[in-house]
Amino acid sequence: MFTYKVDDDISLKLVDHRDADAIFELTDKSRDYLKVWLPWPAFIKEVDDTKAFIKSSMQNYVDNKGMVTAILFKGEVAGILSFNSFDWSTRVGHIGYFLGEEFQGNGIMTRAVRALMDIGFSELNLNKIEIRAASKNVKSRKIPETLGFIEEGTLRQVEWLYDHYVDHVVYGMLKDEWMELN
28 pLDDT higher than 80:
yes
3 state SS of 130: strand
pLDDT at 1 over 70: no
Q: What is the DSSP letter of 152?
A: E
Could you give phi then psi for residue 153, rounded to 5 degrees?
155, 180
- CB-CB contact of 115 with 152 (8 Å): no
Architecture of domain 3-181 in CATH?
3-Layer(aba) Sandwich (3.40)
What pLDDT is stored for residue 42 in this prediction?
87
For residue 63, give the 3-state DSSP assignment: coil
pLDDT for the residue 56: 96
Cα→Cα distances 36→101, 127, 163, Å: 12, 32, 11
Domain residue limits, the chain: 3-181
Say whether pLDDT at 2 is over 80: no
Question: DSSP alpha helices (H): ranges in 87-137?
Answer: 108-118
Coil, strand or helix: which one is 169?
strand
What pLDDT digit, counting tens, does each position of 75-114 carry? 999 999 999 999 999 999 999 999 999 999 999 999 999 9
Average pLDDT over residues 118-128: 97
Residue type (1 letter), 147 = L
Count Cα atoms within 13 angstroms, Cβ side, for 102: 11
Q: pLDDT > 70: what percent of the chain?
A: 99
